[in-house]
């Protein structure tokens, strides 16, 4: 993968978000590959620093160190069953999630993405 450009996405397990987010990342970051880490409601996990956070960090570390990822996107979305709170709450969690990731991976660009009710990706 050294000759290819790779990015990382920490996304909800909800299949409705996968394709639009991967397409967004490939297009907007000129990526060949998108490593995808999925969890139900990942912004809540990262913001709360709960028991699943180290698993996310370990998988992101593989993407960064072994695959050369230079960007990590964290995704929240409309109608999330794993984190059924309003958009405003998810965006507050997103801010904490990005701070946590930026501290863990200081040499990697960390970005926030929101998938709206039309399954379109918005950078936050």
CATH 3.40.120.10 corresponds to the domain 6-123: no
Give the pLDDT confidence of 73-95 residue by residue, as tens digits: 999 999 999 999 999 999 999 99
Element (H, E) at 58: helix 53-67
Cβ atoms 12, 41 nearer than 8 A: yes
Q: Would you kindly state where each structural domain of the chain is located, as residue ranges?
A: 6-123
Q: What is the pLDDT of residues 2-48, one digit of tens each?
A: 578 999 999 999 999 999 999 999 999 999 999 999 999 999 999 99
Judge contact between 10 and 44, C-beta under 8 A. Answer: no
C-beta separation of 71 from 120 below 8 A: no
For the whole model, what pTM was predicted?
Answer: 0.92
Residue 56: both structure tokens together: 């996310």
């Amino acid at each position: 993968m050294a000759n290819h450009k790779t990015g990382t996405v920490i996304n909800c397990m909800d299949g409705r978000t996968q394709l639009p987010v991967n397409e967004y990342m490939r297009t907007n970051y000129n990526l060949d590959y998108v490593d995808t880490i999925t969890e139900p409601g990942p912004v809540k996990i990262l913001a709360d620093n709960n028991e699943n956070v180290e698993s996310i960090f370990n998988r992101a570390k593989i993407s960064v160190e072994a695959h050369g990822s230079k960007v990590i996107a964290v995704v929240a979305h409309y109608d999330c069953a794993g984190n059924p709170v309003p958009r405003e709450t998810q965006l507050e969690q997103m801010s904490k999630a990005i701070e946590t990731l930026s501290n863990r991976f200081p040499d990697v660009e960390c970005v926030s993405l929101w998938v709206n009710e039309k399954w379109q990706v918005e950078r936050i």
